[in-house]
């Protein structure tokens, strides 16, 4: 191990969208910022790439026009179509028009480069240790030795299984349920699903999260479920269902299927993790995930807030954690509102008009949809989130925010 220790203001772990947003703020403010990424850049990221209007605005305002290389075909998405076991389907357009269909390998790389920060790819975060006011961060370059850095602040923007989060809260992964989401790519024989929309099934027999959409001449069939089940069986079940019920005729899946673990849940029950001392957790690592698994917009916004909190703490010599928690509460409100049944019933927390689409259906279909949604929600009964969601929803009404007491 090299004895020479370089000192920087901030180390960001992960080179994704939360990291890019944080890095942009920090670099613009003149703080020496180093991003470390374990993979070689540009790196693949499993994602449908459907960006919300708010995420789209963030990218345009902060990084400029999205380059064509950073888009999949079809290059844009009009909105979301929900499908129900009773065979009612309803499409909802995004507010403000279509949004880009991001190719994460290139969109993330573009944003990371545009942040202006220094990037070390193929460099993994191994661990860190507090030394006075600083963190000594140990990294390892692929095939090389360990390299240590001294950093005033560390940001964990390292995704759902966040090694930075585990370094400060080793027990956290055991405190939440974990899901597996996997997708396979199929050559299309005939697909009646409108390729301008992202398709999602509220169907308890298909799984906790079932989706399909077109990408680069292929049809993606994806399925999410509690960790432990067999991906190939689950996927085959969904593919058969799409053929039988929707007339989707696909060739056998390509060989390059993929999947990963997801920390779905913390944003539903307001159990975010924001870090400790001079270490901030942000993006999906901290639990941000919007309805239908849209995580890019909240990754971007929370990442930017992490960067701003460090700037504020530096300029005004303030304690970082209370500052970050105060500043991030707006993003918590935004994200958790999407899951809040009272907000869904009486406000419009989403970026497409679900109530209007529901009211456009004949009354008998409306009843079917509400019944099917209730049955779908019951699939999550085993996690006992219902009571927690209601308690947090009432607290939101009473205090105008979600209580920070539940955050780590
Ligand atoms: C199948 C699937 C489909 C999805 N579809 C959508 C969608 O259509 N729209 C949407 O908005 N969201 C979608 N999401 C969610 C979205 O991808 C995430 O919420 C978002 O990417 C989170 O961004 P992030 O910056 O927080 O972290 P991530 O994108 O998870 O990035 C974390 C980065 O950290 C790096 N890293 C991890 N460990 C280390 C380490 N030890 N050292 C260094 N680097 C490390 C990783 O390599 C990665 O580059 C989907 C997710 C999945 C799994």
Nearest Cα residue to atom 13 of ligand 1: 294
As a whole number of angstroms, the distance between CA 212 and CA 102 comes to 16
As a whole number of angstroms, the distance between CA 82 and CA 132 comes to 53
Which DSSP symbol is given to 95? T
Ligand 1 close to Cβ of residue 66 (< 6 A): no
Taken in order of first residue, the domains within the chain and their CATH numbers are 6-72+106-174+265-337 (3.50.50.60), 179-262 (3.30.9.10)
At residue 108, the pLDDT reads 98
What ligand 1 atom has the least distance to the C-alpha of 139? 42
As a whole number of angstroms, the distance between CA 183 and CA 47 comes to 9
Which DSSP symbol is given to 254? P
What ligand 1 atom has the least distance to the C-alpha of 284? 26
Per the listing, tokens 């573009």 go with: 110
- How many C-beta atoms surround the C-beta of residue 308 within 10 A? 19
Ligand 1 close to Cβ of residue 77 (< 6 A): no
As a whole number of angstroms, the distance between CA 178 and CA 12 comes to 25
Residues in contact with 212: Cβ distance below 8 Å, sequence separation at least 6, in sequence order: 193, 199, 219, 220, 221, 222, 238, 242, 248
Ligand 1 close to Cβ of residue 42 (< 6 A): no
- How many C-beta atoms surround the C-beta of residue 211 within 10 A? 24
Per the listing, tokens 């869904």 go with: 344
As a whole number of angstroms, the distance between CA 316 and CA 73 comes to 46
Residues in contact with 61: Cβ distance below 8 Å, sequence separation at least 6, in sequence order: none
At residue 68, the pLDDT reads 97
At residue 3, the pLDDT reads 65
As a whole number of angstroms, the distance between CA 299 and CA 286 comes to 9
Residue 50: beta bridge partners? 101
Residue 119: beta bridge partners? 35
Ligand 1 close to Cβ of residue 296 (< 6 A): yes
DSSP of 98-150: -EEEE-HHHHHHHHHHHT--EEE-SEEEEEEEEETTEEEEEEEETTS-EEEEE
C-alpha distances (whole Å) from 219 to each of 39, 48, 101, 271, 294 are 27, 11, 14, 35, 19
| Chain mean position to CA 64 | 21
- Structure-token pair, residue 156: 């964990």
Ligand 1 close to Cβ of residue 295 (< 6 A): yes
Residue 315: Cβ-neighbour burial (10 angstroms; 0-12, 13-18, 19+): exposed
Residue 129: beta bridge partners? 136
Q: How far apart are the first and last CA of the chain?
A: 33
As a whole number of angstroms, the distance between CA 234 and CA 374 comes to 22
Ligand 1 close to Cβ of residue 298 (< 6 A): no
Residue 273: Cβ-neighbour burial (10 angstroms; 0-12, 13-18, 19+): buried
> pLDDT 10s digit of each residue in the chain, 408 long?
556 799 999 999 999 999 999 999 999 999 999 999 999 999 999 999 999 999 999 999 999 999 999 999 999 999 999 999 999 999 999 999 999 999 999 999 999 999 999 999 999 999 999 999 999 999 999 999 999 999 999 999 999 999 999 999 999 999 999 999 999 999 999 999 999 999 999 999 999 999 999 999 999 999 999 888 899 999 999 999 999 999 999 999 999 999 999 998 899 999 999 999 999 999 999 999 998 889 999 999 999 999 999 999 999 999 999 999 999 999 999 999 999 989 988 888 999 989 999 999 999 999 999 999 999 989 888 898 988 999 999 999 999 999 999 999
Residue 200: beta bridge partners? 82, 211
Ligand 1 close to Cβ of residue 80 (< 6 A): no
- How many C-beta atoms surround the C-beta of residue 129 within 10 A? 11
């Amino acid at each position: 191990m090299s004895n020479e220790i370089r000192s920087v203001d901030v180390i960001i772990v992960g080179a994704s969208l939360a990291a890019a947003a944080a890095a942009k703020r920090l670099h613009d403010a003149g703080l020496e910022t180093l991003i470390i990424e374990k993979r070689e850049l540009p790196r693949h990221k499993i994602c449908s790439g459907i960006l919300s209007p708010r995420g789209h605005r963030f990218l345009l305002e902060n990084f400029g026009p999205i380059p064509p290389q950073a888009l999949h075909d079809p290059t844009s998405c009009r909105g979301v179509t929900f499908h129900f076991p009773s065979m009612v389907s309803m499409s909802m357009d995004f507010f403000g028009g279509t949004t880009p269909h991001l190719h994460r390998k290139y969109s993330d790389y573009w944003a990371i480069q545009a942040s202006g920060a220094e990037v070390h790819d193929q460099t993994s975060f191994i661990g860190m240790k507090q030394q006075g006011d600083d963190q000594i961060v140990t990294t390892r370059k692929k095939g090389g030795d360990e390299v240590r850095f001294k950093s005033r602040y560390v940001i964990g923007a390292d995704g759902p299984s966040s090694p930075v989060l585990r370094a400060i809260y080793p027990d956290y992964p055991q405190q939440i349920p974990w899901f597996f989401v996997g997708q396979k790519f199929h050559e299309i024989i005939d697909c009646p699903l409108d390729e301008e929309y992202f398709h999602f099934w509220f169907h308890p027999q298909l799984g906790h999260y079932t989706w399909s959409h077109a990408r680069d001449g292929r049809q993606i069939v994806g399925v999410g479920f509690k960790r432990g089940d067999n991906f190939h069986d689950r996927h085959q079940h969904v593919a058969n269902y799409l053929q039988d019920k929707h007339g989707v005729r696909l060739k056998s899946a390509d060989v390059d299927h993929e999947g990963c673990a997801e920390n779905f849940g913390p944003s539903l029950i307001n159990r975010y993790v924001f870090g400790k001392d001079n270490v901030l957790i942000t993006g999906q690592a901290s639990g941000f995930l919007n309805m239908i698994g849209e995580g890019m917009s909240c990754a971007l916004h929370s990442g930017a807030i992490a960067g701003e909190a460090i700037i504020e703490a530096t300029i005004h010599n303030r304690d970082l954690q209370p500052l970050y928690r105060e500043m991030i509460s707006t993003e918590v409100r935004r994200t958790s509102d999407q899951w809040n049944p009272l907000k869904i019933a009486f406000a419009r927390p989403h970026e497409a008009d679900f109530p209007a689409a529901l009211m456009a259906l004949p009354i008998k279909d409306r009843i079917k949809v509400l019944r099917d949604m209730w049955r779908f929600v019951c699939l999550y009964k085993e996690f006992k989130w219902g009571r927690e969601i209601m308690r947090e929803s009432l607290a939101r009404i009473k205090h105008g925010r979600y209580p920070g007491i539940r955050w780590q």
